[in-house]
Amino acid sequence: MIELNDSLTLQDFIAVVRNFKEVRLSGAARKRVEKSRTFIEKIIEQGDPVYGVNTGFGKFQNTRIERDMLEELQRNLILSHSIGVGEPFPEDVVRGMLLLRAQSLAMGHSGVRPLVIEGLLNFLNHQVHPVVPSQGSVGSSGDLAPLSHLTLALIGEGEVEYRGQVRPAREVLDELGLRPIVLQAKEGLALINGTQAMCSLLALLIHDVEILLSSVDIAAASTVEALKGSHKPFSEGIVRLRPHPGARQVSENLRNLLQHSEIEVSHENCEKVQDAYSLRATPQVHGASRDALRHAREILDIEMNSVTDNPLIFPDEEKVISGGNFHGQPLALAADYAGIAIAELANISERRIEQMLNPALSGLPAFLAEQGGLNSGLMISQYTAASLVSENKVLAHPASVDSIPTSANQEDHVSMGTIACRKAHQIFENTLWVIAIELVSAAQALDFQAPLKPGKGVKAVYDLIRSEIPHLERDRYFKPEVSKIREMIRSGRLVQAAREAVGQVH
């Protein structure tokens, strides 16, 4: 059981979102929430106008709402803002939104009742997942449309996915003995003013990309061996003179993976002076992506434990302050940076694929084909990789440089952060394919280096690949086999094989 208090880690997030660990509100958080709510009720009693409590929203901020209409005001807010479109977010994204919204409200600066947070946690613990369309957020007043669809189910409206079926929310609530929540003053606004859609997307990306970073180093090491590349560019002395943390990690990975290589010994005295950049600059390129993603992780860690609605409640000072914590700019920039960083991993990987498939560059059979001409070998796999990296280049155009005014120019600068996060996810998915193609190509190229054995870590990964995918002796339907390698990357099997052989692989 995970308790929501004031510190949610990415590890906790994954445990709840993907491993279905249950969550509850801690005693300390409950007290903070109750204190904040008591102050809201005092404001209502006094009748002073406070934005979002007893006024309209956005451009209607100066419209005063009578006390007997405050519940209707909050309900209308959710109904009117539930206008997202597009394919629904996947289950893990929605679970992440539920958890992160509960965490933000649990900080005690939003003015909701504990009952509201418990409603979100009930959905998590019963695995009831609101249907949330993925498009429609500009990422400034938070993720208004996505979070409205999330909240819609809490009040018994809209649809949810439960046990593999999409059904009316009210029907599922009745089945589970849960009552729809009647939102009171401030509560609807507190539920939808936040960055939880983009934050959930970014959290899942940052978690998943860690396995990609190790895998792309393994792919590069495999290509170095397949092409009889030099190991010297990965020496500790080189990166020590330009000690970016990511480059040092990648360089150490490559040294570990390439140790005890028979292939290296075989070309100690070759006439080649330097390898192509896509081989010898691997630490610098992969390392820069690691450093960019490390920065995105730092932004994420802050955001996961932040209060992002508006206005914010400060019960100790008896203040309500309108601000801009809902603005998605920190996440928008981080997601764009992450997407660019991941796209670069695919870019350099595709160049290494070309190095192996092009006989003028590799000294190996054209397209790594046996009986070239009769067989095309891996020719078209490079086309696919080229297509994917070109698509990534379009997707990597930053969303965060765009802005378009909303709410009659009241919200005159917006972040497009949710778009940035969605694009980064697509770049990640494309990049998995490119790295899988490089690994398939490297395994085929290593076959032509036999009986010489590659470095210990590369050999372990090669053996894993060959345990499920045989050498390409003649053309065959190969796409399912590339899919297998892609799944080996995503599941961590590939990295685990390397770690079992050489120990640490960052």
DSSP 289-340: HHHHHHHHHHHHHHHTT----SSEEETTTTEEE---TT--HHHHHHHHHHHH
First to last CA, the chain: 30
Phi, psi of 454 (to 5 degrees): -75, 180
Contact between residue 238 and residue 248 where contact means Cβ atoms under 8 Å apart: no
Q: Look at the block and give the residue holding tokens 């920039």.
A: 333
Q: Which residues contact 76 (CB under 8 A, 6 or more apart)?
A: none
Amino acid identity, position 28: A
The helix/strand/coil state of 299 is: helix
CA–CA distances in Å: residue 116 to residues 5, 184, 201, 238, 403:
16, 10, 23, 56, 32
Q: Which residues contact 330 (CB under 8 A, 6 or more apart)?
A: 299, 302, 303
Q: How far is CA 257 from the centre of its chain?
A: 27
Amino acid identity, position 264: E
Contact between residue 109 and residue 312 where contact means Cβ atoms under 8 Å apart: yes
Burial of 93 (0-12, 13-18, 19+ CB in 10 A): buried
Which two structure tokens, joined as six digits, stand for 96? 């992440």
Q: Which has the closest alpha carbon to 238: 260, 257, 219, 255?
A: 255
Alpha-carbon distance 86 to 198, whole Å? 16
Establish how many alpha carbons lie within 13 A of residue 249's alpha carbon, considering only the half-sphere containing its beta carbon: 19
Alpha-carbon distance 321 to 304, whole Å? 21
Q: Which has the closest alpha carbon to 152: 75, 71, 54?
A: 75
Alpha-carbon distance 339 to 205, whole Å? 10
Catalytically annotated residues: 51
Alpha-carbon distance 153 to 233, whole Å? 56
Alpha-carbon distance 169 to 158, whole Å? 6
Contact between residue 505 and residue 257 where contact means Cβ atoms under 8 Å apart: yes
Cis peptide leading into residue 451 (ω within 30°): yes
